[in-house]
Chain A
Amino acid sequence: MILEMKNIQKHFGDHEVLRDISLSVDKGEVVSVIGPSGSGKSTLLRCATFLETIDGGEISYMGNCAVKTKPDGEVSYVDAKDLRRFRNYYELVFQQFNLFPHYSILKNLTDAPIHVQGRSKEQAEQTAMELLDKMGIADKAEAYPYQLSGGQQQRVAIARALAMDPEILFFDEPTSALDPELTGEVLKVIRQLAESHMTMVVVTHEMPFAKAVSNRVIFMADGVIVEQGDPEQVFDNPQEERTKQFLRVFER
């Protein structure tokens, strides 16, 4: 078990965004999370990556507990230094890429491995070049993010995440900020990763893509998991009325 989230609760003010959500991901699994906007999909990823603090529940990576809730309801995270150790287990690819504009593409990929993980410059650069090659943008190593198209920038962001050699990779709507003609190149890269059995959780609105690449699809609405199962089951034979209603919108 790489990630285990149990009974996660999160609210912003009075608004309950996640109500008692549990999710576990095994090694090599590709999980797609679909659902209407505002259903809590992105918040779930942000809680898993500690960008948001949870209001209840438990999160473990590789069997190590990072946050738990005591019986009296008090949520306790491990201290900041240990939390940073947990950050080695995962990486997150953002909707808006969030590349570092003042670093070349190569440096975007090598800076954290060198300065966070303490790898040698030679090793980090070698890994980076291999990844850029895999992404089909090795010729852009010396360029700066502003010189790249959105699709290229997102592929760099994926490579930057992979350069950290994470156990699990999260994607937060990786193609939503892209022009339609650029989504294909990014989805292709994620599909290749799925084929190489990278453990991934992908929040997406690309239904055909979710159906094609994932081992498991989770449909979320109003802060709960309404339905989950293998893609054929969820897409072709949904059991819940809410799921059917959501999927009908996409058939139109």
Chain B
Amino acid sequence: MTLSTMLSTMGVGMLRTFAVFSLTLLGSLPLGMIVALLKKSRFAPVRLFISGYISIIRGTPLMLQLLVWYFGPFYLFGMNIGNWRFPALIFGFVVNYAAYFAEIYRGGIESIPVGQYEAAEVLGYTHTQTFMRIILPQVVKRIMPSVTNEVITLVKDTSLAFTLAYQEVFSLAKQISASQTSFMPFLIAGIFYFVANYVVEFAMQRIEKWMDYYK
């Protein structure tokens, strides 16, 4: 196998990795906010449910969660899981990352001084306006470093898709390496992850800098 065939085969895997990465962020960033807000709900059963969800997600390996998402429907409901691989993967990642983002958001929301809420209340803002116009923009700025951390972890965690035999860059690297008895695929995969995270770091730095207009 020439280097260029190797690269083009793995290129497909890179696109799949990118799909997992972007769909996970697209789903978990907003879902995390909903979870964070539900955790502050007035209804105790809701709070309890959310706490349980976060504990389970943080307390078990993501690899195990992915396997449960994939095989669970078959063992529990006898569902045909033929086309279920990719959806299971995305559900697993989104639900997992949402729990972590929720805790980051919650920390951010709780760090906003109570005076901000009081000033908004006296000025007559509704609760929704207060959150969207006054609180959330300040939260976003404060949580940026933690979110960056999480996003970088996600880039590397996409390799866990290997567990479900989803042919992303890491699975392909392992396959090609075995069939061609070559170390090259691992090197290519390594460079790919490193460059991807370099881009993430750069992008997040730009966003943080952009938000630096106030303190």
Q: Which residues of A line the B interface, CB within 8 A?
A: 49-51, 84, 87-88, 90-92, 94, 96, 98-102, 111-112, 115-117, 144-146, 160, 164
Contact = CB atoms under 8 A, between A and B. Distances in A.
28 contacts: A50-B121, A51-B118, A51-B122, A84-B126, A87-B124, A91-B122, A94-B115, A94-B118, A94-B119, A96-B115, A98-B115, A98-B116, A98-B118, A99-B119, A100-B119, A100-B134, A101-B138, A101-B215, A102-B141, A102-B214, A111-B133, A116-B123, A116-B124, A116-B125, A117-B124, A144-B213, A160-B123, A164-B124
A145 B118 contact: no
A111 B118 CA distance: 16
A144 B214 contact: yes
Listed residue (A49, A94, A100, A160) with the most chain B CB atoms within 10 angstroms of its CB? A100
B143 to A, nearest CB: 14
B129 interface: yes
Interface residues of B, number: 20
A146 B214 contact: yes
B137 interface: yes
Interface string B96-123: 0000000000000000010110110111
A98 B121 contact: no
Contacts of A49: 122
A98 B119 contact: yes
Contacts of A99: 119
Contacts of A88: 124
Nearest to A87: B124
A146 B213 CA distance: 10
